[in-house]
Amino acid sequence: MTTVGIDAVEIWTGNLKLDLPGTFAPQKGEDPEKYTKGLGLNASSFPDSYEDIVTMAANAAHRLMDRKGLEPDDVGRIDVATESAFDNSKPVSTYVAGCLEQVYDGDFHHANKGERKFACIAGTQSLDDAYNWIRAGRNRGRGAIVIATDTALYARGDAGEATQGAGAVAMYIAEDPDLVELSPEQGYGSADETDFLKPNQQFPSVDGKRSVQVYLARMREALQDFESVAGDVHPDDIAFIPFHTPFPGMVRKAGLLGYRYITRDTAIEDELAEEIGRQPREEAFDTEDDYHEAVREYTDALKGTDRYQQWYAETIDPTLTVSREVGNWYTGSVHIARISAMKHALENGRDLTGETLLVGSYGSGAQAEIHAETVCESWSEEIEALNVDEQLAARYDMSWEDYEEVHDAHNHEMDVDVEEFTTPEEEFVFDGWGRMGERKYRYVE
């Protein structure tokens, strides 16, 4: 059977940076460690005044196509996942195709184009759509470009303001991939929730405490569903677990609960029992409240064990390195986590060929998906070709006054003219408005 998966990946981070402990925290009168240790964030990325979700998506896709030697005829599908769309009819993918046609001789007139929306999980759903399209034999030998692009802005003063971020991840989905092969098995956890939403508004309405609870509940359901079709998951069989990462502090919770679940009824639980006892079983308690209290106590004890801390340091923490420097990219965040993990392996001389990634995607509203990925033989060449560190280092470090200006510039309710902070070079830029109110773009040499 022909394998299908991610052949190549590229990112484009917003060209501006907000230093959270050094710039944001003093203005808020907060201890910098609230952000660095609590949220797990050092900085956020932002789009310059000439950037938006289209430019970031097109720039990431252009870099991917250029590096892989792809032409428009090689692409049969362009899917964009975003929760920052600015049009209720015309999809972002058409704008992206229009940008790319400025720099290629051919066109994308025979490529299917669409836009996916389900909060942050839409990027993975678009990945699934491309996978299914190829496996169904409808691709005519072509691949699909899947792009997750977002500007994750919160209203000024909102509790989520520190987790903001902006950027795009472009992926080429094809047969016989060079990066990772996707598993046919998937697990889902989904329910009608109102933890995070944007009812005809730009900035989200968030129930922060509820959102954490829903995230963890849906992830647990998705893992249970995945095991029902793929078999039991064992921690020793997984190289990394890239989670959806709204902020690394959330992933710390997901990693702990996930480890408790996948070690249940294993030799690992037996070994840990000598130190912290066995995991509580519901049938042993008179009330549900007593059971949940016992689970909380066990989980707290598990967190302090050397065995768990070593597993977390090896399996989860490497997925968070990039996210700590860019903040939340909504649809792109889980795909940033994958890149971060594989980049860590490359830098530490670890050969991932044939190893398994367990990917945990999530979108508010709410749905989680778990699937597995097998790392392909050419993975290191693909990761080595990325310039993540260079992009992060090249960002303009904003002052507080700069941040206030750029936030206003990207607030759809405000009409402000903000000078660009950086000079665009070899990238697509926003170029004003067309006769019907559409956005226009051009390529800067």
**Active site amino acids:** 83, 120, 244
Q: Which two tokens stand for residue 367?
A: 């749905």
Indicate the residue type of 349.
G
Contact 94, 108 (CB under 8 A): no
Alpha carbons 292 and 281: distance in angstroms, whole number: 10
Residue closest to 36 by CA, chosen among 28, 25, 48: 25
Prior bond to 166 cis, omega within 30? no
Indicate the residue type of 69.
G
Residue closest to 100 by CA, chosen among 125, 124, 73, 81: 73
Q: Which two tokens stand for residue 140?
A: 């005519």
Please name the helix (run of DSSP H) or strand (run of DSSP E) that holds residue 148, with its range, or none. strand 143-152
Taking CA 312 as the corner, what is the angle to CA 306 and CA 316, rounded to the nearest 5 degrees?
Answer: 175
Alpha carbons 324 and 44: distance in angstroms, whole number: 8
54 CB neighbour count, 10 Å cutoff: 27
Rg of the chain, C-alpha, whole Å: 22
Q: Which two tokens stand for residue 150?
A: 């977002």
Sign, CA dihedral 302-159-392-98, equals positive
Bridge partners for 172 per DSSP: 8, 145
Alpha carbons 164 and 187: distance in angstroms, whole number: 29
Bridge partners for 313 per DSSP: none
- Those residues whose C-beta lies under 8 Å from the C-beta of residue 441, and which sit 6 or more positions away, are 54, 55, 58, 95, 98, 99, 102, 428, 429, 430, 431
Give the chain's count of helices (H) and strands (E). 15, 15
Alpha carbons 143 and 408: distance in angstroms, whole number: 39
Alpha carbons 247 and 276: distance in angstroms, whole number: 29
Residue closest to 332 by CA, chosen among 385, 375, 381, 388: 388
CA distances from 106 to 73, 170, 428 (A): 7, 20, 18
